[in-house]
Amino acid sequence: MNPLMAAKAYASIQGGAAPTAPAASAGETGFAGMLQSVMGDMTQTTRAAETQMTSTIQGQGSLIDVVTAVSSAEASLETVMAVRDQVISAYQEIMRMPI
């Protein structure tokens, strides 16, 4: 995944066209379901942080709530980045294996 693909994915999620990660069905309890869950959690925490920032700018929120929401969104983003790094590392390892 490159930065352009990530930006397009973020834009599609923010546009409301794409639903947040659906609950994994019985057949999707594997790796794909885990990735959907992690991405869905990250999207939800990012939206919550944006909502908190907007309400604080409008004078309806507390700075403590904003800091907490942004911190939670940052932790979720770091989790997604760690998973991405491990997936890329595993892919590179597989590509180095002799046939």
Q: What is the pLDDT of residues 56-91, one digit of tens each?
A: 888 888 888 888 888 988 988 888 898 889 989 999
14-55 pLDDT tens trace: 654 444 444 444 445 777 887 888 888 888 999 988 988 988
44-62 pLDDT tens trace: 999 988 988 988 888 888 8
Domain that holds residue 77: 28-96
58, part of any domain: yes
What separation in angstroms does the CA of 72 have from each of 8, 19, 31, 79? 23, 21, 23, 11
- Alpha carbons 58 and 65: distance in angstroms, whole number: 14
Whole-model pTM: value is 0.59
> How many structural domains comprise the chain?
1
57, part of any domain: yes
43, part of any domain: yes
pLDDT at 6: 60
